[in-house]
Amino acid sequence: MGIIKKLGYLMKKIYYIVSKGSLYLDNGNLYFEPFYEDCDIPKKFKHDNDDEEIQIVKQRQSIPIETTSSICCFTLVQFDSTILNYIAKYNIPIISFDSYIPTGYFYSNFSKPDGNLTVLQAAHFANNSKRLSIARKFVLGAIANKIVNLSYYYNRGAISNIDLNKFTLIISQANKCSDVNQLLLAEAQAQKLYFSFFNQIIKNDNFHFEKRVYFPPPDPVNALISFLNALLYSTLLTEMASTPIYPFISYLHSPGNNKMSLIWDFSEIFKPVVCDRLLFKMLNTNIIKPDMFDQSADKCLLNKIGRHKVVSEYDKKIKTTIFNRENQKQQSYRTIIREEFYKFIRFLQNKSDYKPFRMNW
C-alpha cells in the first residue's frame, strides 16, 4: 500500500504515516505527499531540526476524510492549521509518535462526549477502594493473557519448562495489595517473569532478547516490541475516541498532564493478545530481518522498510477474525478492542461486572 499503511474497521480506516512528508488540502480534499530523500526541499517545507536534503515528489495519495478514523504519524509529517481545522470538523484524531512513544494528540473532541460518564469515571478514581478494584482487574487480566500465551508456546514445544506456580504467587500477591503502587510492583514482577521466556520462544538465531529496555530500545527485539506497542496504542486511542470514555482518567497508571493514560491501562490486556503473538510470528518465520533496523551506539530503531513490513503485518493481525467466546461471535481484534471499552462503560454505569478480555487459545 506504499507510503501510507491503512487498517480497516468496517468503513473507517486508520492511516499510519511511516515516511516523511506533508499533509495538505487541494480543492477541499486531503492529501499526503512524501518527501524524496537526497534532493532539495522546498523552503516552505523546511524543518529547522531536519538536516536531510529532501524534496516533494510528484506522486501523492489522497486520504478520504469521510472514511478515516485517525491519522498516526511515526515520522516527520508537516502540516498547518488549515489541516487541523479541516479534520476537526470530522472529529478525526491526529496522533504523533517519537521513537514509538505517543507524544502528542490533536482532536477537536471525542465523538460522543458524556458528562455523566466522566463524572462516574472520576468518582471511581476518587474512591480508593473502587480505583484499586479496577486497577486489580487490569493487572489480573494482563497476567491471565500472559499465562495463556506461555501455555500456547509450551504446548507447541517452544518452551522447555514452565512453572506456572510463580505466576500463581504473583496473582495471590496482587489480590492482597492494599494500594495501586503495590499492584504496579506485582505487575512488574509478572512482566519480568513473562519476558524471561521470550528467548526460548524466539527461534531465530539472528535475534536475541536479553531484557526489556523501554527508551530508547537498544536492540532489534526491544525496538520491535516498542513499535508494536505503539501501533496498539494508536488502535486503542482510535477506538476509544469513538466512545464516550474520557481518556485522561485512568486507574492502574497515574493520570498526568496531556496524558491519555487510560490507554495504558487497557494496553496491558491486549499486548500479549496482539503484539507478542505477532512479534514471535514475525521473528520465527523470518518476516523481519536484521537489515530492517538502524542500529547506533545508543539505540536501535526500525528503518523505513522495517516499519512498512511491521505495519503491514499488524494490519493483517488487527483485522483477523476470531471466535469471541464472551459473546459467541466472530469478531476482529479491532472490534474486540472497541467492545472492551463498552464493557467498561456498562461496568461504570453499574449495569454489569467488568471482566477483561481473555485469550483462550
Can you spell out the DSSP letters for 291-323?
GGEEE-SS-EEE-HHHHHHHHHHHHHHHH-EEE
pLDDT at 338: 93
Whether the pLDDT of residue 17 is over 90: the answer is: no
pLDDT at 2: 41
Q: Cβ–Cβ contacts within 10 Å for residue 212, how many?
A: 15
pLDDT, tens digit (0-9, with 9 covering 90-100), for 239-298: 888 888 998 999 999 887 657 899 999 999 999 999 999 999 999 999 999 999 998 888
337 CB-side CA count, 13 A: 30
* Residue in the structure block whose three cell numbers are 482487574: 137
Residue 171 lies in a domain: yes
224 and 324 share a domain? Answer: yes
pLDDT band at 112 (very low <50, low <70, confident <90, very high): low
Output phi, psi for 278, to 5 deg: -70, -40
21 and 122 share a domain? Answer: no
277 and 160 share a domain? Answer: yes
The three cell numbers of residue 89 are 470538523
SS3 4: strand
pLDDT at 181: 95
Range of the domain at 31: 4-92
Closest CA to 30 of 88, 75, 76, 74: 88
Whether the pLDDT of residue 14 is over 60: the answer is: yes
Q: Cβ–Cβ contacts within 10 Å for residue 83, how many?
A: 19
CATH number of the domain encompassing residue 244: 1.20.120.920
* pTM, 2 dp: 0.84
Gyration radius (Cα) of the chain, Å: 21
Residue 340 lies in a domain: yes
**Structural domain total, the chain:** 2
18/72 Cα distance (integer angstroms): 9
More confident residue, 308 or 215: 308
8 and 137 share a domain? Answer: no
> How are beta strands 77-78 and 61-62 bridged, if at all?
unpaired
pLDDT-above-70 percentage for the chain: 87
Whether the pLDDT of residue 41 is over 90: the answer is: no
34 and 120 share a domain? Answer: no
